[in-house]
Amino acid sequence: MLYKPVVYVTRSLQEPGPTLLSKYCHINMNDSVIPISKRQMVEKAKEVDAIVCMLGDKIDSEVIYSAGNRLKLISCYSAGYDHVDLEAATNKEIVVTNTPDILSETTADLTFALIFAVSRNVVKGDYYVKNAKWKFGWTPDLFLGTDVYGKVLGIIGLGNIGTKVARRAKGFEMDVIYHNRTRRYELESKFGLRYVDFHELLRRSDFISIHVDLNKDTYHMISFDELKKMKNTAFLINTARGKVVKEKDLVRALNKGLIAGAGLDVYEEEPVSRESPLLKTSNAVLLPHLGSATQETRSRMAEMAAMNVINFFRQIGPLHRVN
């Protein structure tokens, strides 16, 4: 690769990403964690051969069509790529890549962290102790939660992350049912899972965990009609994509006691607005999109995002292409 491509990295990237890129590319990196403006993104796209972007960076048709013919690659530092206008990129013959199959174990761990947080009052208990509200020692009715072991876990989407959640659930002796676009017979046999239709999953599950991509079929997949079908003792967990759940309907269901609670790591709009009614719910645990947030996983993601750039311009593989 005689020509060293110019790469713009939209936000500070973990090692070994920058070191790898610097061997083969000229790097221009935004060292802040704060995203740049739309106007800045449009200008940057005109000046570079490749962009390494984060999940919160909107690479829409305006950015892509304003880039001229120089921009050849958009490397997503994420498994998801719904923040990039794939149609526009494809029309401009711009390759889009992602970092798949790296964060599934880590996100599955976080899914269970949320399951336990909502079912065993972990966050409320922590606040209670740290704010000196614990006055009388052990009492028989303090923060009574619900068991996880032996309960029915309904998994919506049995891809890489959903499968790893199912595997963990068996360790807690949970009865795991799932709904997926296609049946996964080999996984049913391997992990003792049962396939059910979507509405049966809603009715039977004590915990529902969402693990689907965001597309036209999954947008607002969970709205008030679906929430009404759940048990009033059930919990909804979402570590997938925020727009799979219609938030205003979820807030309504939580406030009416139609479900027992929710654990969310993703939202329709991120960051969550200070005015969001979600912040006033007492039966939801809310995290700031931490699904892949471990040192090990973020480092592997940075390495793959960098190697996607390097391999593209060196015309070698692997290249984790999504268009």
Query: Do 59 and 174 have their domain in common?
Result: no
Query: Do 243 and 257 have their domain in common?
Result: yes
**What global pTM score does this model have?**
0.93
Query: Do 178 and 109 have their domain in common?
Result: yes
Query: Do 131 and 19 have their domain in common?
Result: no
Write down the pLDDT at residue 1: 58
β-partners of residue 235 are 207, 261
Distance CA 242, CA 270 (A): 9
**Closest residue by Cα to residue 202 from 183, 174, 221:** 221
Q: What CA–CA distances, in Å, run from 258 to 82, 181, 321?
A: 31, 27, 42
Tell me the per-residue pLDDT of 224-274, one tens digit each, with 9 for 90 and over. 999 999 999 999 999 999 999 999 999 999 999 999 999 999 999 999 999
Write down the pLDDT at residue 2: 66
Tally the C-alpha atoms within 13 A of residue 200's C-alpha that lie toward its C-beta: 9
Query: Do 83 and 219 have their domain in common?
Result: no
Query: Strand, helix or coil at 252?
Result: helix
Instruction: Specify if 281 maps to a domain.
Output: yes
Q: What CA–CA distances, in Å, run from 142 to 19, 28, 120, 134, 259?
A: 52, 54, 11, 10, 21
The dihedrals phi and psi of 4, each to the nearest 5 degrees, come to -95, 110
Query: Do 200 and 307 have their domain in common?
Result: no
Return the active site residues.
Answer: 241, 270, 289
Tell me the per-residue pLDDT of 293-309, one tens digit each, with 9 for 90 and over. 999 999 999 999 999 99
Work out the mean pLDDT of the chain and round it to a whole number.
Answer: 96
Query: Do 97 and 109 have their domain in common?
Result: no
Count structural domains, the chain.
2
List the domain range (segments joined by +) for residue 282.
104-286
Query: Do 269 and 306 have their domain in common?
Result: no
Instruction: Specify if 71 maps to a domain.
Output: yes
Answer yes or no: is pLDDT of 21 > 80. Answer: yes
Q: CATH number of the domain at 268, please.
A: 3.40.50.720
